[in-house]
Amino acid sequence: MFYIALFLVFLYFKIARVHKKEERLNNLTIATHAIVAISATALLSYGFSHYNWIYMFVVLFIFFILAALMVTAVQVGVFVDGKPFIKISALYKSMPYLASAITIFTIILFI
């Protein structure tokens, strides 16, 4: 569950970075970013206290690259029969669900 939450954190913040460049932020989105940042800090502190730091850096690097490639593939566009397979707006709509999953996984991890 730790690794799933950690990957979702990288995916969330990559989507948030693209969202910030393309659209305006409101207070609810900023509050959601803050909650995910607190969860990410808790996850990283848990990871560095329970796993070897070299192993953690390798995992963090791999998750960073995977999240970046996934979002970039959606931005560039994967087309099936002339229509985009996944639209970038679908990623924006998934942000609250990702944030709640990250928060729930972090809470379960610390219980």
Residue ranges per domain, the chain? 2-110
Asked whether 16 and 73 are in contact (CB, 8 A), the reply is no
What is the mean predicted confidence (pLDDT) over 65-71?
92
pLDDT at 13 over 80: yes
Question: Does the pTM of the predicted model rise above 0.85?
Answer: yes
pLDDT at 25: 85
The pair of structure tokens assigned to 76 is 């560039």
Each residue of 29-47: pLDDT tens digit? Answer: 999 999 999 999 999 999 9
Percent of the chain with pLDDT over 90: 64
pLDDT at 111: 85
| Cα–Cα nearest to 7, from 84, 88, 70, 63 | 63
Res. 81 pLDDT band, cuts 50 70 90:
confident
Residue for token digits 């953690």?
A: 56
Distance CA 60, CA 14 (A): 14
Res. 10 pLDDT band, cuts 50 70 90:
very high
DSSP state for residue 84 in the 8-state scheme: E
